[in-house]
Amino acid sequence: MAGMKVTSLTALRAASWKARARSDLFALHLPADGQVRIALGQKISKERIGTELEGMFNGASPLAAMQLIHRLRLFPVVFSVPAPLSNALGPLYGGACVGCMAAGDAALEAQLSVQLDREERRTLQIAAMLLPLRSCEAPGAKGKLQPAPVVILRESIKWRAKDGDSVQMLHDTAADLLRIVGMLDQGPQQQQQQQPAGPATATNNATASSILPAELSADVRVVFGNAIRRMKQFWRIGVLLAPLLTMHCASPLGVERAEGGPEGRERRGGRQRRR
């Protein structure tokens, strides 16, 4: 193994092996080689990278594969973003992303009552992994600015467009779900002072009623019902994802906050927006 020539495809397949067999048989002998990173970015098609990643996320331990990719310093090559965002993020943003993915896995393991199928689990892992990049924007296929997670999924690894749409929806809804958690910690009188975020349908209210305790206010049910309406079949993933926003690993990357606190201005991906 010591004399084995390490190529970019070898590195990807080692990560895939680790995901499927939970084995370090090849991974332990792979160096963090700059030439491998260059070759992976220039000689391996994005479609091929995406296909290898599909195998990893369908394996027994996708987290272990992503940890290996980060250890080999391949994360910013595999999940690449265009400049100037890549310059703002630097080469080590994979650490926070993999940390969030681990937190998502831990959240699912802790909730024994929540059962996700393979597709749902993959969506949770991808959404958690890319959560630190939720405030970043990057130019998409036609040069139009899009959320960085969408650009990564659609352009960098050539996954389905609906994968990017699902992740963006979960990221957009996570803050609303976290607000619901805060409302649950309040008393009924304080809950009633909260304003509902738009109309909720009877179906949404029925779903919320089946999940939330009976003593909660109608406003909390409306807010939760609207969140379920946006998430549709992904609402269980959203409930697991939202608490990750409070963790250090999920702090927005590529964002410089102006004076005035979190409600002030943010500079993201070379552009500035006001919340």
Tens of pLDDT along 193-226? 444 444 444 444 444 444 444 455 566 777 777 7
What is the pLDDT of the chain when averaged over all its residues?
A: 76
pLDDT value at position 175? 86
Spatial separation of the C-alpha atoms in residues 131 and 127, rounded to whole Å: 6
Average of per-residue pLDDT across 112-139: 93
Token pair 């895939």 is found at: 16
DSSP class of residue 184 equals H
Spatial separation of the C-alpha atoms in residues 174 and 195, rounded to whole Å: 18
Spatial separation of the C-alpha atoms in residues 103 and 107, rounded to whole Å: 6
What pTM value is reported for the model? 0.76
Evaluate if residue 270 carries a pLDDT over 90. no
pLDDT value at position 196? 45
Spatial separation of the C-alpha atoms in residues 58 and 121, rounded to whole Å: 10
61-85 pLDDT, tens digit each: 899 989 988 988 889 989 999 988 9
- Per-residue confidence at 228, pLDDT binned at 50, 70, 90? confident
Cα–Cα nearest to 183, from 167, 197, 203: 197
Residue 154: what residue type?
Answer: R
Which of the residue ranges 115-129, 173-187, 193-207, 238-252 would you say has the lowest mean pLDDT? 193-207
